[in-house]
């Protein structure tokens, strides 16, 4: 990385601006002109964050960027340097503990990343060097090396396919770790290469690395016998790092992109430390309390010197100054006094809060892991928590970004029915009548033939021929999980680039036509008369998102040349006769409403002259070096006209269990769901309908390549026109923030947006002549006005760009990404919260996620129950900590007005140290772990409750001001109540006078009891642990005070509380004052709870559903039999 930056700095990379030139086998073949060998990066993958040398300084720098850590470091240094009223241990020890634990945690996580990198970099591969096959580590591969890859091995870098062991010069790969698709894709060798790759003499010129997985432009110049042959290179020749070789014994390829320049690495989003909204709120509150602290210190310092300026106050007769004190600098002494006051009031910002928050997050994360509802019997695993820092963020999600394949769906296509010449054929065991059409059941040949034998055979023959499916013989191993019935005595597995193609071939098998395979360009099928038909495959017109159809041109044994085509209804109907459309369209519309993926099937017979013209135009377009895609599209469009419509198919991509219910619950909770997928638009749209993200009443707005090309204008102009048009339309019926019309309002029009990757690139990366920020602003406005957004044909990095765009939009909404494949890693890392699904696409998403769950359905409970409760708990914890410490320090501040601003502590040093560590820490920790202000069943049944705490509602300035005012009220009451009691200090029967330490002990006793009982009043869910820590903490305070003041400790230079606590409790007046002050402090809280009794039918319904016992569904803790009280805001 450093070397690359230095080369760029000193001009070494100037030739790499536009393209790169690569000598195959690292042999320069440019002998006629001077050639400067370009320098490329090595093949190492680096995902780690630290090294052994920079871990300590880098980690400390990152930790002390937190305001709290830096503040406590300064306070600790002040306590060490300046003579302050408190010991440096009170600040240094908790700070050291927090820094050490965090460093160990982050160091361990980075060690795991180093370990994973080494597994990849040290993996042994075979490289052809000087005619020899050499085994070397993957990280040592250089650009230009010829690499050998065997079946089921992963490609170690981006390769151009030179040679394949298959007879048809193709190979099959799976790209599950790149785009989430587990289906097999076909790649082709470069034509006219040498059979022996060691003898190949060629040069490749290609584009510089870029992250788009679906684009690649280059050309290869092959040198043969003083003759040069130029061959174009495209995505079909490029094998991507991370993909796996399938159904091919061996291939050879030349490395074109290595290491961090591979497309997979360019799509990898570096892992950064995520911070929750609660932590940001803590920092904001901390700044307010810092100003309070500085203000108190300034006031006390100023008043001290004002008071000392009076005659006789600066140097009283009983306390004369020393010579050193008289000669000391006045301003230095003022500054030292200011620092001493800062340290004295420092406890208003307790470091123990950060320790408690860390413990709450760490211990609370176990409850997600232990939740039995998250356990999946199929994989025998439960939920996994990779980071505990974001528990409360689960309760604040506003946008959910989900992958489709393997997340929303099972990626398991099933043939449901077909329509032939207007007649419906449904493979079911029982007969039925649908839409007035006859339904045939079972194989066609067993029932009355409705569409005519010839038309049925033609339709089924089209299903068996119009595809890119391959058949693989297998005895033991399954291919893609698909096992089919015996065909011609052997057990076969189907592999294809799309699962719906396999479903259609299997559907044809149900009706008597079986595809036997492709051998040497000959396709064999077994018809229902058990005769084998052989067709020569002449051309494959591949599917693309603009045409939305694919075709094959085949030649039968009788010499007929046929074109079979299948595609989306919108792309097929304009290319067939209108009278044929009417018979099929009814079935297509009904199937689409049911959420099925529909495809129409057509055919065309080509004459010899027509085929010669088609063949010439296709070959010419495929050899073009410029505008190849446009020329191919034009050739495809010319031949795919005047076809005859045969029928249509309906295929179902099964949704994950309870996927629709989960999406509906999330939308009811106020979240907006976006689907980001690399799949085709038609498939993704059907899935959105099936999962209820799109409804039949939803008006779909489309921003795709097809809509951009409709107006006949430049794409950017057409894009701006559509954006302005859609914005005007959506603003007429805006969707309120957090509101989903179809969930709880019948008014308004629902809008859904569909955008593809190419259009998104135009929006995010507009040309310099246009205002890109305007495009983004319009696009975001439209998206925020839609109930759901579908982004299809997305590259992994584009998914992350979408998430980043929404995350950085106005209001900084909390985002969540959920996916199951390595192609989802970028968006998982980019979102505030990343969820990995333990699916079939490997565990890359799980390893890089913050939380991992077995199924999508578990997301509902994770957010609506766990997330909601975690947020409420930690919000209460944060507010309570600031409140109780304000109560703690305010009397200390007021006391300075009565002690001559001498920095005299009101409390004993033991009380100062133990208050946050022992006396008040455990009750709030238990509360933040076990509190359930609403039971889990109600939270799951009423998703709208999630919206009550949205947008950080409990940590806004309103609740913060309430808690601050409450702390000020209690602090004033503690101090002046005790001050009123001590107006006559002779409180003992003997007439003995109480001193300042007894006064401080009375204030401290009222303080400890009040803040603890305040928490008891806030508790709605009592467990035996809550009882134990609350009453145990109060008992421990009493026992400790007796113990601390009842023994003469030899290690103490002075013992201020000797028998003070015992003497205080021997006074009836002190007892009365303590009890009265506690009751007066809690009286407003009790009155508020009584007067704010919840009302309404919803509350009565919830009360009827309250659990009769105190058993928690999650924690499985034995509890007391005390009844539970619940409260809700009106």
Catalytic residues: 403
Contact 785/822 with Cβ under 8 angstroms?
Answer: no
The burial class, CB within 10 Å (0-12 / 13-18 / 19+), for 1039 is exposed
User: How far lies 280's CA from each of 391, 808, 915, 956, in Å?
Assistant: 14, 15, 26, 11
Contact 598/648 with Cβ under 8 angstroms?
Answer: yes
DSSP per residue, 670-691: T-EEEEE-SS-HHHHHHHHHHT
Give the whole-angstrom CA distance, residue 114 versus residue 47.
7
Give the whole-angstrom CA distance, residue 826 versus residue 848.
9
How remote is the C-alpha of 499 from its chain's centroid? 26
CB atoms inside a 10 Å sphere around CB 105? 15
Give the whole-angstrom CA distance, residue 447 versus residue 528.
13
Q: At what angle do helices 996-1018 and 1068-1091 cross, to 10 degrees?
A: 30
Short-list 762, 736, 1057, 1124, CA closest to 914: 1057
* Token pair for 259: 């290491």
Given the DSSP bridges, would you call strands 146-150 and 250-257 parallel, antiparallel or unpaired? antiparallel
Give the whole-angstrom CA distance, residue 1082 versus residue 1080.
6
Give the whole-angstrom CA distance, residue 100 versus residue 113.
20
- Which residues have C-beta within 8 Å of that of residue 306, sequence separation ≥ 6? none
Contact 209/261 with Cβ under 8 angstroms?
Answer: yes
Give the whole-angstrom CA distance, residue 1040 versus residue 153.
67
- Which residues have C-beta within 8 Å of that of residue 577, sequence separation ≥ 6? 644, 645
DSSP per residue, 232-274: EE-GGGEEPTT-EEES-SEEEEEEEE-GGGSHHHHTPPPP---
Give the whole-angstrom CA distance, residue 988 versus residue 982.
12
H or E stretch covering 854: none
Give the whole-angstrom CA distance, residue 966 versus residue 971.
9
- Which residues have C-beta within 8 Å of that of residue 579, sequence separation ≥ 6? none
**What's the CA dihedral at 210, 211, 216, 220 to 10 degrees?**
50
Contact 779/378 with Cβ under 8 angstroms?
Answer: no
Contact 267/795 with Cβ under 8 angstroms?
Answer: yes
H or E stretch covering 161: strand 158-164
Give the whole-angstrom CA distance, residue 429 versus residue 407.
31
Short-list 1005, 1006, 1007, 1029, CA closest to 1016: 1029
User: How far lies 412's CA from each of 334, 572, 576, 654, in Å?
Assistant: 76, 25, 31, 6
Give the whole-angstrom CA distance, residue 265 versus residue 244.
16
> Beta strands of 457-596 (E only): which ranges?
470-473, 492-495, 514-519, 522-526, 532-541, 549-556, 561-567
Q: At what angle do helices 89-121 and 55-63 cross, to 10 degrees?
A: 130
H or E stretch covering 979: helix 957-981
């Amino acid at each position: 990385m450093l070397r690359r930056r230095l080369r760029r700095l000193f001009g070494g990379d100037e030739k790499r601006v536009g393209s790169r030139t690569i000598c195959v086998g690292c042999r320069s073949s440019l002998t006629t002109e001077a050639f400067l060998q370009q320098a490329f990066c090595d093949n190492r993958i680096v995902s780690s964050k630290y090294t052994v040398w920079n871990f300590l300084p880098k980690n400390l720098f990152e930790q002390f960027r937190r305001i709290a850590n830096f503040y406590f470091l300064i306070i600790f240094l002040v306590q060490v340097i300046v003579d302050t009223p408190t010991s440096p241990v009170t600040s240094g020890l908790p700070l050291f503990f927090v820094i050490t634990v965090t460093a160990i945690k982050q160091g361990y996580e980075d060690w795991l990343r180093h370990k994973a990198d080494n597994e990849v970099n040290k993996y042994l591969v075979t490289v052809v060097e000087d005619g020899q096959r050499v085994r070397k580590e993957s990280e040592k591969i250089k650009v230009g090396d010829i690499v050998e890859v065997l079946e089921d091995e992963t490609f170690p870098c981006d390769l151009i396919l030179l040679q394949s062991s298959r007879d048809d010069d193709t190979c099959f790969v799976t790209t599950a770790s790149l785009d989430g698709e587990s289906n097999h894709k076909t790649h082709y060798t470069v034509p006219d290469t040498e059979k022996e790759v060691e003898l190949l003499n060629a040069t490749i010129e290609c584009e510089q690395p870029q992250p788009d997985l679906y684009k690649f432009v280059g050309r290869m110049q092959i040198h043969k016998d003083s003759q040069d042959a130029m061959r174009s290179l495209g995505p079909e020749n490029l094998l991507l790092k991370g993909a796996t070789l399938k159904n091919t014994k061996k291939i050879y390829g030349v490395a074109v992109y290595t290491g961090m320049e591979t497309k997979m690495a360019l799509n990898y989003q570096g892992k950064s430390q995520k911070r929750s909204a609660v932590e940001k709120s803590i920092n904001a509150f901390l700044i307010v309390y810092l100003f309070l602290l500085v203000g108190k210190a300034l006031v006390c310092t100023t008043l001290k010197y004002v008071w000392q300026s009076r005659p006789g106050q600066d140097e009283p007769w009983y306390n004369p100054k020393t010579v050193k004190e008289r000669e000391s600098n006045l301003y230095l002494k003022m500054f030292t006094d200011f620092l001493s006051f800062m340290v004295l009031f420092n406890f208003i910002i307790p470091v123990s809060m950060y320790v408690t928050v860390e413990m709450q997050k760490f211990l609370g994360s176990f409850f997600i892991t232990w939740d039995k509802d998250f356990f999946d019997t199929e994989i025998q695993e439960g939920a996994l928590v990779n980071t505990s820092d974001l528990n409360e963020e689960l309760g604040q999600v506003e946008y959910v970004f989900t992958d489709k394949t393997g997340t929303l769906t099972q990626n398991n296509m099933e043939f449901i029915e077909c329509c032939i010449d207007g007649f419906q054929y449904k493979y079911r065991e029982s007969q039925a009548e649908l839409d007035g059409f006859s339904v045939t059941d079972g194989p066609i040949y067993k029932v009355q033939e409705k569409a005519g034998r010839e038309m049925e055979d033609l339709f089924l023959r089209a299903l068996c021929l119009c595809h890119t499916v391959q058949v693989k013989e297998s005895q033991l191993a399954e291919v893609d999980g698909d096992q089919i019935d015996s065909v011609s005595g052997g057990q076969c597995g189907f592999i294809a680039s799309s699962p719906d193609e396999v479903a259609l071939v299997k559907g044809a098998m149900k009706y008597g036509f079986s595809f036997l395979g492709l051998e040497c360009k000959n396709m064999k099928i077994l018809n229902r008369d058990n005769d084998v038909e052989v067709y020569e495959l002449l051309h494959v017109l591949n599917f693309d998102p603009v045409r939305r159809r694919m075709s094959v041109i085949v030649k039968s044994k009788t010499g007929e040349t046929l074109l079979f085509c299948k595609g989306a209804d919108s792309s097929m109907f304009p290319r067939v006769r209108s009278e044929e459309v009417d018979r099929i369209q009814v079935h297509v519309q009904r199937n689409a409403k049911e959420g099925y993926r529909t495809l129409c099937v057509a055919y065309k017979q080509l004459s010899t002259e027509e085929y010669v013209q088609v063949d010439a135009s296709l070959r010419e377009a495929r050899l073009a070096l410029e505008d190849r895609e446009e020329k191919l599209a034009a050739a495809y469009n010319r031949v795919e006209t005047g076809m005859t419509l045969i029928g249509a198919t309906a295929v179902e991509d099964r949704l994950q269990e309870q996927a629709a219910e989960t999406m509906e619950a999330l939308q009811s909770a106020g979240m907006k769901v976006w689907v980001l997928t690399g799949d085709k638009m038609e498939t993704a749209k059907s899935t959105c309908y099936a999962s209820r993200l799109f409804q039949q009443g939803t008006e779909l707005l489309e921003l795709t390549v097809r809509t951009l090309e409709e107006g006949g204008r430049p794409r950017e102009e057409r894009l701006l026109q559509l954006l302005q048009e859609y914005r005007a339309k959506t603003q007429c019926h805006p969707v309120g923030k957090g509101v989903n019309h179809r969930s709880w309002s019948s008014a308004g029009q629902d809008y859904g947006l569909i955008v593809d990757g190419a259009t998104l690139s135009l929006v995010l990366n507009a040309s310099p002549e246009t205002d890109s920020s305007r495009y983004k602003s319009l696009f975001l406005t439209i998206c925020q006005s839609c109930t759901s957004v579908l982004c299809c044909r997305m590259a992994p990095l584009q998914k992350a760009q979408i998430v980043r765009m929404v995350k950085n939009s106005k209001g900084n909404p909390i985002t969540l990404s959920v996916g199951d494949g390595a192609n989802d890693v970028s968006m998982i890392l980019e979102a505030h919260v990343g969820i990995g699904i333990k699916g079939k696409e490997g565990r890359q998403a799980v390893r890089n996620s913050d939380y991992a769950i077995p199924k999508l359905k578990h997301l509902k409970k994770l957010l609506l129950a766990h997330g909601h409760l975690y947020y409420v708990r930690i919000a209460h914890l944060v507010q309570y900590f600031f409140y109780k410490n304000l109560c703690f320090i305010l009397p200390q501040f007021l006391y300075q007005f009565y002690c001559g601003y001498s920095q005299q502590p009101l409390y004993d040093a033991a009380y100062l140290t133990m208050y946050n560590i022992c006396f008040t820490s455990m009750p709030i920790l238990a509360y933040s772990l076990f509190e359930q202000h609403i039971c889990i069943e109600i939270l799951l049944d009423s998703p709208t409750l999630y919206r009550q705490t949205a947008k950080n509602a409990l940590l806004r300035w309103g609740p913060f001001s309430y808690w601050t005012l409450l702390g000020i009220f209690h602090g004033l009451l503690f101090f002046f109540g005790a001050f009123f009691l001590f107006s006559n200090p002779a409180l003992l029967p003997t007439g003995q006078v109480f001193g300042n330490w007894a006064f401080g002990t009375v204030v401290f006793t009222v303080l400890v009891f009040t803040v603890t009982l305040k928490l008891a009043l806030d508790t709605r869910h009592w467990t035996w642990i809550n009882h134990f820590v609350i009453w145990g903490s109060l008992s421990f305070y009493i026992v400790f005070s007796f113990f601390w003041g009842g023994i003469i400790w030899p290690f103490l230079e002075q013992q201020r509380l000797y028998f003070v606590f015992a003497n205080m409790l021997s006074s009836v007046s002190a007892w009365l004052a303590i009890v009265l002050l506690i009751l007066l402090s809690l009286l407003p809280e009790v009155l508020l709870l009584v007067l704010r009794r919840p009302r309404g039918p919803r509350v009565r319904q919830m009360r009827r559903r309250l659990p009769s016992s105190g058993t928690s569904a999650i924690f499985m803790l034995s509890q007391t039999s005390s009844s539970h009280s619940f409260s809700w805001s009106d």
